[in-house]
Amino acid sequence: EVYQSLHNNGFGFHYLSGSPINLHQRLRYFMNHQGFPEGSIELRHWGLGAGTDAILSSSTYKLQRLQKLFQRFPQRRFLLIGDSGEKDPEIYATVRKTFPKQVLGIAIRNVTNASPQEPRFKNMQLFQNAQDLARNLEVLINKTIIHSGLGLKPKNTGNGGN
Per residue in 85-142, pLDDT tens?
Answer: 989 999 999 999 999 999 988 999 999 999 999 999 999 999 999 888 888 777 776 6
pLDDT band at 147 (very low <50, low <70, confident <90, very high): very low
Strand partners, 108: 82, 126
Percentage of residues in the chain with pLDDT exceeding 90? 53
Output the pLDDT for position 54. Answer: 66
Burial class (CB in 10 A: 0-12, 13-18, 19+), 28: middle
Q: How far, CA to CA in Å, does 11 sit from each of 45, 57, 79?
A: 27, 29, 9
pLDDT band at 55 (very low <50, low <70, confident <90, very high): low
